[in-house]
Every structure is written in structure tokens, then in C-alpha cells.
Amino acid sequence: DPAAMAAAATHFGLALIACGLGQAGGDGAAARRELAESPTRTAQHRCINGRLVPTAFILGAQKCGTTSLSGDMIKHIKGLTGAARLPAGSFGNKKEIHFFDVPGPFTRGLGFYSSHYPPCRDTLVAMDATPRYLRFPEVPPRMHDSFGPSMRRTLRFVVILRDPSERVRSWYDHMGKSPGDGGLQKWTREALAALTACAAKRKVDLTKGDLWKSMCRDM
């Protein structure tokens, strides 16, 4: 739901970026090249315990090109780096650290977060491309409380979205579905039925945007 995502994004004070993927005449690669210039123009390197801590972030929806965007940015923007290592207790991967959306890693503090990234250098800026940060209401207050006022002013975000119908089709293909399973329409109906059942069980009012605060959001 683009409106719900926009509402979630207001918690971050983000500028939303519409992804060109799947749109008639859209050039997703060109859009990514253009967007890749913006988030680090004023982002600055920050260090904790001698290691970089991210000040650039990519957030968004599944199957919207966040992996391609993060790869393009790290490849083409001089001085931008992703994670260098995955210490014990890590939840994600070198693209998606999942620090602010998973309680276990978050409770270990920013020192653990920075331990994923290279040693400090004035010429480097670290980036965390965990798309799920957009979907979890817990993330904005965790970021706010973790970073002091001066550091918060250096944070830069890119949010990448996609037409919902195109995204569903891409996710369906990604899951390896085939015509023999009843097709996209049947799969979509079943997914919506499961979401509705979860909402009813947990007394979630889907008309009020409460889905974001419930466990049903991951269905």
C-alpha cells in the first residue's frame, strides 16, 4: 500500500523515491544511477570504537531493486562502503545488517553495529541497506535514541518503492511459483485470506493502518 508506506516514511522525515522498475518506458538502471548520487552528498563518516557506523541507508519494499541499488552505489560512489564482516551474533548479511529491526542485535548496542564495518578513515562513509527498516514502527525511535543530535543531522536515507501489482508479480516469480499451482490470482487470494485471518485473530483493524504494528505485517 503506497499510502501506508508513505505514512511510515514520515517517521523518518524521508524523501520517497518511486522506482522505475516495471513502468512503461521506465529506465530502472538510469533511475538508480541518478539516485545513487544523492544520499552521500552530505553524509559524513562517523566512528564508534574505531570502526565506521552507517550514516547512509537504503529502505524499501521487497522486489524493488534495493539489492541492485546498493551494489551500484558501492561500486560507483567513491568512499561509500558496506559491511566488511559478520561478527558472531549477526542476524543479516553484508548488505542488510538488520540491527534496528531485530531485538537481539539492537540490545548489543552501537559498538556491535559498528563491528560489522571497516576501520575508520576520513574518506569512507558506511551504508546499511536493510529494506525492512521502513516497515517496522520500532525502527525510527530506536535510531533516534541511538544517535545523538549532531549525528542524526548527518544521516541520509533513500527509500525505493514499486507499483504494488508489479511487486506482487515479481515476488510470485521469486518464490518459484508455476502455472500448476493455480496461478497468480489463486496465490494472491490465498495470501490475502491468510493476512485477513491473522488480522482477525490478533484483532488488527486493517482499515486504520494498524497492520504496521502487528506481526501480520510479515505475511
**pLDDT tens for each residue of 167-199:** 888 888 877 666 667 788 888 888 889 888 998
Distance CA 94, CA 128 (A): 8
Helix (H) or strand (E) holding 74: helix 66-76
**Could you tell me the CA-to-CA distances from 213 to 57, 146, 218 in Å, in that order?**
22, 21, 11
Three cell numbers, residue 178: 508455476
pLDDT attached to residue 43: 58
In contact, 187 and 181? CB cutoff 8 Å: yes
pLDDT attached to residue 210: 77
pLDDT attached to residue 157: 93
**Could you tell me the CA-to-CA distances from 202 to 79, 117, 185 in Å, in that order?**
46, 39, 26
Confidence class for position 61, pLDDT limits 50, 70, 90: confident
pLDDT top residue among 133 and 36: 133
Model confidence pLDDT, tens digit, residues 82-100: 999 999 988 889 999 999 9
**Could you tell me the CA-to-CA distances from 43 to 59, 124, 127, 151, 206 in Å, in that order?**
16, 10, 10, 10, 37
pLDDT top residue among 44 and 135: 135
Helix (H, G, I), strand (E, B) or coil at 52: strand
pLDDT attached to residue 190: 86
Distance CA 138, CA 136 (A): 5
Residue 133 scores a pLDDT above 90: yes
pLDDT top residue among 7 and 149: 149
The mean predicted confidence, pLDDT, of the chain is: 79
pLDDT attached to residue 15: 40
Number of helices and strands (H, E) in the chain? 9, 7
C-alpha of 105 from chain center: 16
